[in-house]
Structure 1
């Protein structure tokens, strides 16, 4: 069963116990198509607060600005505020004020979803502080207060969607994925299809159901974490490149889905990891991606059956009725296994030995001296 469609269709209503969704892109593959569907889900209407800090609203919201502030979508455009240059306005304070303002109180009967399109911009990431040992605790105390509502289910149905655009040296991914921030997490990671093709051809580890799931994940996880290898597959001499994620030429890519916490049936806790696909504007199955057809065609090659040697003989190999009757009368060697057989009567006998010249192996001691 594909899990991504249910998350995209109704991100806040399917799993109310999964309040934090993390969408991760990379330099080799963008995840903006998934983010666009999360902003305007096709399922139940939700109150959405969208904070644009990196991408303009026109690249995330369809028919902008006609769809702005229509009651279900509230957009805050902070793209002109560059950290380090605009000291008069602090986007973090305004985000916290919007979350705790009367906008949420007036929509208490509806589910609310908070979306920030760039977590490094939310926290005003400073490269000088990234190496500081107290950097993580500093973020948790001052900048992640907007996510504290997610740990209060009685306060308001709430879903926070965070986007980590690239894997840089100052990435907040380790902070956002830790259990201290949220015990439950839905992590959506975009990968280029060339990565799966590379694993199938170089490592003989195609994705399930074309290959073993255990072998695939053993190879996929360490290779996917090496960003330079994925970038070489896409932008290298033999790479096919990638689309920016906008316009009519929408890309197709692979989605790694990690769900931490309560499972879909709501009875057990753990980590559920899946590999799914995104094509055009909706999720789907890996088998539907055109870029992965080589994997499925290779796995569906007909197996060569050994030739039947009985078909090329010039005589009949079947037994005649008399031969079959004679074969049926042959006692089976294990027909009486387990039964106590009566001991066979002793048969007396004598061994006679007459030496000859063949037994003379010692020239110094001929057989004439042998007395038996």
Structure 2
């Protein structure tokens, strides 16, 4: 089972327990299919509270078929346009505190919209910190998961000071993988070295304008960001970061999403070109094969060649200090010790 499939099927099963899950979208790619799939796989015996600030609950779950999920729609409560507006913090905290002891899932869509309603990122961070404290102190494993887009709040919520353990799932358009493979000759693991791939992928993906250019630019198809693209054509790439897992460090991987389920990157039709090109490169014939002479050296020949003295005129000359200029006169050079201007009456 892939890492992403394990997270979706049993988010509380990781050791140590990961109470905080961040699902990140961008203007070039949505991660809502992951969020919907995660919610649909919650255990029926676990109480789930879904607080919606960006999209209505019906876009994320079927309430009639999931009685264990209680939804709260805040999409119509907009500061400055609602005469009865009041901050949602107290209501959310009261709802969480009212749930009987046991496992609890708290979902917020989206926390950056919540920060806008509260007026600042620090206020939203303080609230999330309080909410996470209520989740982590419950008697059974519980999680706080929220959806977010790139914003100043994201940097605060991924710090160790908030939670030493973290699951961070980021959706990217497949065009990023295609571009890196063609422009930097770098393939994702296991097709290429992991260190090389992440050294290129991380800084590139953090420049959001690059993703937007690849999708919406002259050569892009402009379809990666559709939040409700049909399942049959939906494909994107998921960057997975797990902090404080079994390895007690940071674990990164990249997987695919096709239709409505996780998959390997090789299963994405949008990335078929990079695997074809790589296989063609690996299948190129070796130019040293099938020739009438041997271009390779045996180990003994390599050793013998290394022992051959090089014909340098000044090799071993103690005068070859740093900055010295050594010159060997050519046979045609007219070099003598006489003054060439001795016949001049100066």
Q: TM-score with structure 2 length normalisation? A: 0.77
CA contact under 8 A between 1:12 and 1:113: conserved in structure 2? no
Measure the CA separation in 1 of the matches of 2:44 and 2:13: 8
Partner of 1:294 in structure 2?
273
Measure the CA separation in 2 of the matches of 1:44 and 1:6: 18
Using the TM superposition, give the Cα deviation of residue 177 of structure 1 relative to its aligned residue in structure 2, in angstroms.
0.7
Identify the match of residue 238 of structure 1 among 206, 210, 219: 219
Partner of 2:240 in structure 1?
257
2:150 is the counterpart of 1:167: yes
2:43 is the counterpart of 1:51: no
**1:4–1:94 CA distance, 2 compared to 1 (3 A):** same
The correspondence of residues 307-322 of structure 1 with structure 2, limited to 5 A, is 307-309=289-291
2:129 is the counterpart of 1:144: yes
Partner of 2:90 in structure 1?
93
CA contact under 8 A between 1:21 and 1:159: conserved in structure 2? yes
| RMSD of Structure 2 on Structure 1 (CA) | 2.3
Q: Which runs of 5+ in 2 are unaligned?
A: 294-303, 305-346
**1:176–1:148 CA distance, 2 compared to 1 (3 A):** same
Partner of 2:64 in structure 1?
66
> CA offsets per residue over residues 231-268 of structure 1, 9 Å max, x none?
000000110112523253451100000001132xxxx4
Using the TM superposition, give the Cα deviation of residue 157 of structure 1 relative to its aligned residue in structure 2, in angstroms.
2.2
Measure the CA separation in 2 of the matches of 1:126 and 1:139: 7
Larger Rg: 1
Using the TM superposition, give the Cα deviation of residue 149 of structure 1 relative to its aligned residue in structure 2, in angstroms.
2.3
> CA offsets per residue over residues 196-240 of structure 1, 9 Å max, x none?
000000111111122221111111011000000110000001101
CA contact under 8 A between 1:20 and 1:150: conserved in structure 2? no
SS across alignment from 1:276: strand
Using the TM superposition, give the Cα deviation of residue 298 of structure 1 relative to its aligned residue in structure 2, in angstroms.
1.4
The correspondence of residues 199-278 of structure 1 with structure 2, limited to 5 A, is 199-243=180-224, 244-246=226-228, 248-249=230-231, 250-263=233-246, 268-278=247-257
Q: Which runs of 5+ in 1 are unaligned?
A: 131-135, 312-333, 335-372
2:285 is the counterpart of 1:304: yes
Using the TM superposition, give the Cα deviation of residue 16 of structure 1 relative to its aligned residue in structure 2, in angstroms.
6.0
Measure the CA separation in 1 of the matches of 2:234 and 2:146: 22
SS across alignment from 1:269: coil
CA contact under 8 A between 1:20 and 1:186: conserved in structure 2? yes
Partner of 1:118 in structure 2?
110
Measure the CA separation in 2 of the matches of 1:99 and 1:42: 17
Using the TM superposition, give the Cα deviation of residue 300 of structure 1 relative to its aligned residue in structure 2, in angstroms.
1.3
**1:16–1:40 CA distance, 2 compared to 1 (3 A):** farther
SS across alignment from 2:169: strand
